[in-house]
């Protein structure tokens, strides 16, 4: 009888015990990695420390400056809703990117794209702003709507007092 790893196998069958051992090794290795990651990659405090005290908690306060940035995002989203390349360009989207959107909508005429952007994720500094959003594209596949969501980061630029979309990744 063949033997593998000290386990006797019958009729050439692979040992279930060997497979189970590999799985347990993988799980325990992943567990050790997951336990070490917070200590090595994050900016979490050590034991007994706290990042914020109750008096340090800050809540988002909408600013007057946030409204024009929101307006620029709305202009972008309206252009997507209309599948309008010229409106995308007037919202600040580069010509090459607008053409890619045009191809996307030509290939998916019933597609919709929406952005959910929490006010608290908007960061404005001088003439630039960044906003982390969740973008959802819904297309028809085999007659059924399929939604694909992903996180996207908008960068806005202010030129002559007007905010436009400078980049999105």
- CATH number of the domain bearing residue 143: 3.10.450.50
- Tell me: do 34 and 74 sit in the same domain: no
Q: How many CB atoms lie within 10 A of CB 154?
A: 24
| DSSP for residue 103 | H
- Tell me: do 138 and 84 sit in the same domain: yes
- Tell me: do 31 and 86 sit in the same domain: no
- Tell me: do 36 and 70 sit in the same domain: no
User: In angstroms, how far is CA 1 from the centroid of its own chain?
Assistant: 54
The whole-angstrom separation of Cα 169 and Cα 164 is 15
Predicted pLDDT of residue 78: 97
**Least confident residue range of 11-20, 55-64, 65-74, 117-126:** 11-20
The whole-angstrom separation of Cα 169 and Cα 131 is 11
Q: Give me the domain span that covers residue 157.
A: 66-168
Predicted pLDDT of residue 52: 44
Q: Which residue has the higher pLDDT, 56 or 145?
A: 145
- Tell me: do 90 and 132 sit in the same domain: yes
Predicted pLDDT of residue 148: 97
Q: Which residues pair with 152 in a beta bridge?
A: 133
- Tell me: do 23 and 75 sit in the same domain: no
The phi, psi pair for 139, rounded to 5°, reads -125, 160
Q: Which residue has the higher pLDDT, 84 or 65?
A: 84
Closest among 154, 156, 150, 158 to 168, alpha carbons compared: 154
Q: Is the pLDDT of residue 47 over 90?
A: no
């Amino acid at each position: 009888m063949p033997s593998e790893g000290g386990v006797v196998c019958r009729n050439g069958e692979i040992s279930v015990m060997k497979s189970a051992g590999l799985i347990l090794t993988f799980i325990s290795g992943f567990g050790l990695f997951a336990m070490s990651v917070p200590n090595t990659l994050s900016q979490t405090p050590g034991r007994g420390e706290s990042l914020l005290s109750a008096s340090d908690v800050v809540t988002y306060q909408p600013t007057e400056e946030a409204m024009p940035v929101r307006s620029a995002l709305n202009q972008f989203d309206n252009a997507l809703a209309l599948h309008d390349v010229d409106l995308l360009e007037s919202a600040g989207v580069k010509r090459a990117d607008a053409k890619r959107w045009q191809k996307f909508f030509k290939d998916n005429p019933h597609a919709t794209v929406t952005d959910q952007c929490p006010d608290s994720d908007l960061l404005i500094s001088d003439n630039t702003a960044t906003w982390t959003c969740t973008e959802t594209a819904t297309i028809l596949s085999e007659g059924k709507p399929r939604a694909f969501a992903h996180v996207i980061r908008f960068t806005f630029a202010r030129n002559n007092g007007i905010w436009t979309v400078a980049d999105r990744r």
